[in-house]
Amino acid sequence: MSAQGPPLTCHVLDTSVGKPAVNIQCTLSRFLKSADGSPSSSCFEVAKASTNEDGRVAAWEMRQKGVAGKLVLEEGFTYKIRFETWEHFKGETFFPYVEVVFTVKEINQHYHIPLLLIRIGGRELGFGGGDIGIRYRKQCTNRRVG
């Protein structure tokens, strides 16, 4: 992983307006392991962040301190990021939040999660006035750095 950046970054784009999704609140949580080593249903909050003017999460505010207060992902553990979309769409959304769950296979990798928000036109999903849908581009990229 790079000395300058965290091991995990995100990029959220609102394709309904063709712009980055600014100020989306993001929470990173880590799942506990079951007796057999699989992820349990229990998790705890590790860090928080919000997307910047470019729609990116480039820095995390730690809830529990890692090395020098920087985000440290642990190999073999499963994590989830919760993207709070309710406020971004001012409550006019079918999905009030999006959760992306992933497992860290190697700690010496950088993980990047892109999220595309899209407007679903012409359908009434129960919230009226221009319904919103969300699509997660199933492409969590991991690339070796260094």
Largest pairwise CA distance in the chain: 50
Span 22-26, mean pLDDT? 96
**What pLDDT shows up at residue 101?**
94
Higher pLDDT, 68 or 129: 68
* Residue-averaged pLDDT of the chain: 79
Higher pLDDT, 29 or 91: 29
Render pLDDT for 57-74 as a digit per residue (tens, 0 to 9): 988 998 865 545 788 899
How far CA 145 is from CA of 5, 21, 60, 70, 78, in Å, comes to 11, 27, 19, 17, 21
CB 114 within 8 A of CB 135: no
Tell me: pLDDT of 123 over 90. no
Tell me: pLDDT of 112 over 80. yes
Residues 6+ apart with CB under 8 A from 42: 31, 32
Span 42-54, mean pLDDT? 96
Quickly state the pLDDT bin for 2 (edges 50, 70, 90). very low
How far CA 9 is from CA of 52, 58, 73, 125, in Å, comes to 12, 6, 12, 31
Tell me: pLDDT of 79 over 90. yes
Tell me: pLDDT of 51 over 50. yes
Structural domains present in the chain: 8-144 (2.60.40.180)
- Give the SS3 label for residue 63: coil
